[in-house]
């Protein structure tokens, strides 16, 4: 005689349902990251923006003064000089880093002897701490002991030492060169990674169609690399725009503020000068430029039509 079995239907508890819910799990996994972002990014950023609207000084909480800091900056020639320097520094260094980095990436993508060794060597400037490379450049650009001046003098190419950091134009060129040297590896290695994702079959097909080397680059490599270029250059522009260490070690913003960037001026005014409000205002004034760079990258460089060689 068969005993009828009683099927026990178990209703899942609230807890287990929550644990199995994709949404809850997703939220749970995101929480630590969100908390980190809130604490270490959103809060300082919000505080910075708020400080820019106050007259806070070191050791004295400020009061809300509206846009007075920005009004002061508007009429401040040193601030505008720092804006000019920052834009010049970012644009020149980024273009050079892109061109040289892409060129290096293309070379490293070829079949070369000791390829891995060269790839590792290329990374060195990026690996060295910025302060150390800045100190090395400080010696290279020294007005008395520059190895460049010495070498050129020995070769009989110049008869006096080059005033690398004393002349405003030379100083700007020198700090840009140092930044380019340091930033090339990042661009080169990232673009190299991008180059390696391009299927070989596309090159083969184009070659069969009779494409020249230039056409291969222009119509295969470049369009497929553009999304990587967009990301790489966005980061590169952000790093360059916010550079601080190189300038601080090499010139402290001199000569006569010719190399002051917004970041170094913000530090000088906010911390050394004690005017936290104004320092914060300078830092906040960097945000529109940074946003513009990011938007250009995302909405410009990533457009499919651009990538395919078309116009708007």
Partner 1 sequence: MKFTRRDVIRTTAGAAAGALGSRFVGSSAFAQEGLTYKPEEGAKLRLLRWSPFVQGDEDQWLKNTKRFTEATGVEVRVDKESWEDIRPKAAVAANVGSGPDLMFVWFDDPHQYPDKLLDVTELGDYLGKKYGGWHDGPKQYATREGKFLGLPLATIGNAIVYRESWVKEAGFSEFPKDTAGFLELCKALKAKGHPAGFTHGHGVGDGNNYAHWLLWSHGGQMVDEAGKVTINSPETLKAIQYAQELYKTFIPGTESWLDVNNNRAFLAGEISVIANGISAYNTAKVNKDNDPKLAEIAKDIRTTNLPIGPVGKSVELFQVTTAVIFNYTPYPNAAKAYLQFMFEDPQMSDWITSSAGYCCQTLKAFDNNPVWKADPNNAAYAKASATLRPNGYAGPLGYASAATMADYVLVDMFAKAVTGQATPQEAMEEAEKRANRYYRV
Closest CA to 72 of 215, 277, 250, 305: 277
Which span (5-13, 20-28, 193-201, 247-255) binds partner 1, by CB under 8 A?
Answer: 247-255
Per-residue x/- track, 271-290, partner 1 (CB under 8 A): xxxxxx--------------
Burial of 278 (0-12, 13-18, 19+ CB in 10 A): buried
CB burial string 174-205: b at 16+ within 10 A, e below? bbbbbbbbbbbbbbbbbbbebbeebeeeeeee
CB 205 within 8 A of CB 281: no
- Quote the least distance from Cβ 239 to partner 1, whole Å: 22
User: Which residue number, 81 or 191, has a Cβ lying nearer to partner 1?
Assistant: 81
Distance of closest approach, residue 180 Cβ to partner 1, in angstroms: 20
Considering only 11, 22, 160, 213, the residue that binds partner 1 (CB under 8 A) is: 160
Out of 98, 137, 164, 186, point to the residue binding partner 1 (CB under 8 A).
Answer: 164
State the Cα–Cα distance between residues 292 and 8, nearest whole angstrom. Answer: 62
**Contacting residue, 59, 113, 156, 310, with partner 1 by CB under 8 A:** 59
158 binds partner 1 (CB under 8 A): no
220, 263, 269, 277: which one binds partner 1 (CB under 8 A) = 269
End-to-end CA distance of the chain: 82
- Would you count residue 62 as binding partner 1 (CB under 8 A)? no
**Helix%, strand%, coil% for the chain, nearest 5:** 70, 0, 30
Q: Which stretch binds partner 1 (CB under 8 A): 6-14, 25-33, 55-63, 123-131?
A: 55-63
Whose tokens are 């010719």? That residue is: 258
C-alpha R_g of the chain: 27
CA–CA dist 119, 188 (Å, integer): 9
Task: Check binding of 225 to partner 1 (CB under 8 A).
Answer: no
Give yes or no for a contact between 178 and 246, defined as CB atoms under 8 angstroms apart: yes
- Per CB under 8 A, the list member of 70, 91, 198, 252 interacting with partner 1 is 252
Give the residue with the Cβ less far from partner 1, 223 or 255.
Answer: 255
Name which of residues 178 to 207 contact partner 1 (CB under 8 A).
none
Distance of closest approach, residue 290 Cβ to partner 1, in angstroms: 24
Taking a C-beta distance cutoff of 8 angstroms, is the pair 170, 86 a contact? no
**Region from 45-53, 163-171, 192-200, 211-219 binding partner 1, contact rule CB under 8 A:** 163-171
Please tell me the distance from the alpha carbon of residue 60 to that of residue 90, in angstroms, as a whole number.
35
Mask of contacts with partner 1, 75-94, x by CB under 8 A?
Answer: -xxx----------------
User: What is the distance between the alpha carbons of residues 81 and 78, in angstroms, rounded to a whole number?
Assistant: 5
Single out the residue of 123, 309, 115, 312 nearest to residue 221, CA to CA.
309
CB of 57 to partner 1, least distance (A): 6
x/- mask, partner 1, residues 116-155, rule CB under 8 A, reads --------------------------xxxx----------
Residues that bind partner 1 (CB under 8 A): 57-60, 72, 76-78, 142-145, 160-161, 163-166, 168, 171, 251-257, 268-269, 271-276
């Amino acid at each position: 005689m068969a005993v009828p079995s009683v099927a026990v239907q178990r209703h899942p508890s609230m807890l287990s349902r929550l644990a199995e819910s994709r949404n809850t799990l997703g939220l749970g996994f995101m929480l630590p990251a969100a908390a980190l972002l809130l604490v270490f990014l959103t809060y300082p950023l919000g505080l910075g923006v708020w400080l820019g609207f106050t007259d806070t000084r070191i050791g004295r909480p400020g009061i809300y003064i509206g846009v007075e800091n920005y009004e002061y900056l508007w009429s401040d020639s040193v601030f505008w000089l720092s804006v000019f320097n920052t834009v010049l520094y970012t644009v020149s260094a980024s273009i050079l880093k892109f061109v040289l980095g892409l060129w290096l990436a293309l070379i490293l993508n070829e079949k070369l002897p000791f390829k891995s060794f060269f790839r590792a060597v290329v990374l060195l400037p990026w690996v060295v701490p910025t302060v150390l490379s800045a100190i090395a450049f400080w010696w290279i650009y020294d007005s008395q002991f520059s190895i460049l001046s010495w070498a050129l003098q020995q070769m009989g190419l110049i008869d006096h030492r080059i005033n690398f950091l004393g002349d405003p134009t030379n100083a700007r060129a020198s700090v840009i060169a140092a930044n380019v040297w340091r930033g090339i590896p990042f661009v080169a290695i990232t673009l190299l990674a991008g180059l390696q994702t391009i299927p070989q079959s596309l090159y083969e097909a184009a070659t069969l169609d009779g494409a020249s080397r230039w056409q291969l680059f222009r119509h295969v490599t470049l369009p497929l690399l553009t999304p990587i270029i967009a990301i790489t250059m966005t980061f590169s522009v952000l790093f360059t725009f916010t550079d601080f260490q190189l300038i601080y070690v090499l010139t402290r913003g001199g000569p006569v503020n010719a190399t002051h960037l917004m970041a170094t001026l913000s530090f000088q005014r906010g911390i050394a000068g004690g005017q936290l409000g104004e320092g914060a205002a300078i830092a906040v004034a960097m945000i529109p430029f940074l946003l513009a760079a990011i938007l250009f990258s995302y909405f410009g460089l990533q457009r499919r039509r651009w990538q395919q060689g078309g116009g708007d």
